[in-house]
Amino acid sequence: MKDLRRYLALKYIQYLVLSSSYTISTLLGLLGSAYTMVLLQSAKVSSKSTAVLISSLAQADILVFLSFVSDVVSGSFGVSPAASGLARILLTANAHVSCVLLSCVAFEAYLITFLPLESRPLRTVRNARLTSRVIWTLVAAECALFLLDDHLRASNSLGLLFQLSSGAAALLRSLSYVLGILLRIVNVYIYYKIFFSMSPRSRLKSK
């Protein structure tokens, strides 16, 4: 559907084009996600693997809403390092989940375009749900490590656990940064291939 394509375009701009989040793009993303979650409940939208991935993508913006709530609460009752750290980690989780899910949608579009028959056994609702669960689980583990590292830093702990968590968190942040760059490159390549594979067909139809 056109509305879902527009929503995906908005999300690609928000997470894979802009280098940092902006208030306008974040608010538009929240509104788009709310509309998409309602739209996906419609009987007009068939339950396919792409719809499952888009649904999980829209649900990821709940983390942004929770981050806003955390900021409002901490602003009303006094800012605490724990509350501000939690809001930051919620935004990080949202960005990481969204980037990976958008890449999954792009990869599925690539399979549909170039390997439609061969990839059909992979492009199932079950596999899409499993993929979404794995992504959420990995990002949750990542954020748990970040929370542990922030807690140990706030408590001025200097033990072995602090050294391990600090080193692991630093390594994970570096890997996340590199992965983010790679996902941007891969997504551009995929849609470049799809666009130029569709262009000759469009020219043939116009003739």
20 pLDDT higher than 70: no
The larger pLDDT score, comparing residue 200 to residue 17, is at 17
For residue range 162-179, list pLDDT tens digits in order: 788 889 999 999 999 999
Instruction: Return the pLDDT at 109.
Output: 94
Return the closest-CA partner of residue 52 out of 69, 36, 35, 34.
36
Instruction: Return the pLDDT at 204.
Output: 44
Return the closest-CA partner of residue 93 out of 73, 64, 58, 65.
64
Return the closest-CA partner of residue 106 out of 3, 5, 2.
5
Mean pLDDT of the chain: 87
Return d(Cα 152, Cα 167) in angstroms, integer. 12
Instruction: Return the pLDDT at 82.
Output: 64
Return d(Cα 190, Cα 183) in angstroms, integer. 10
Total H helices, total E strands in the chain: 7, 0
Token pair in block for residue 157 = 């702990």
Q: How far, CA to CA in Å, does 59 sit from each of 113, 139, 206?
A: 27, 14, 40
Return d(Cα 159, Cα 112) in angstroms, integer. 51
Q: Is 0.85 surpassed by the pTM of this model?
A: yes
For residue range 115-154, list pLDDT tens digits in order: 999 999 999 999 999 999 999 999 999 999 998 888 888 7
| C-alpha triplet 108, 181, 175: angle, nearest 5° | 105
For residue range 61-118, list pLDDT tens digits in order: 999 999 888 877 776 666 566 667 788 899 999 999 999 999 999 999 999 999 999 9
Q: Among 5-9, 23-27, 31-35, 124-128, which stretch is predicted with the lowest mean pLDDT?
A: 23-27
- 3-state SS class at 118: coil
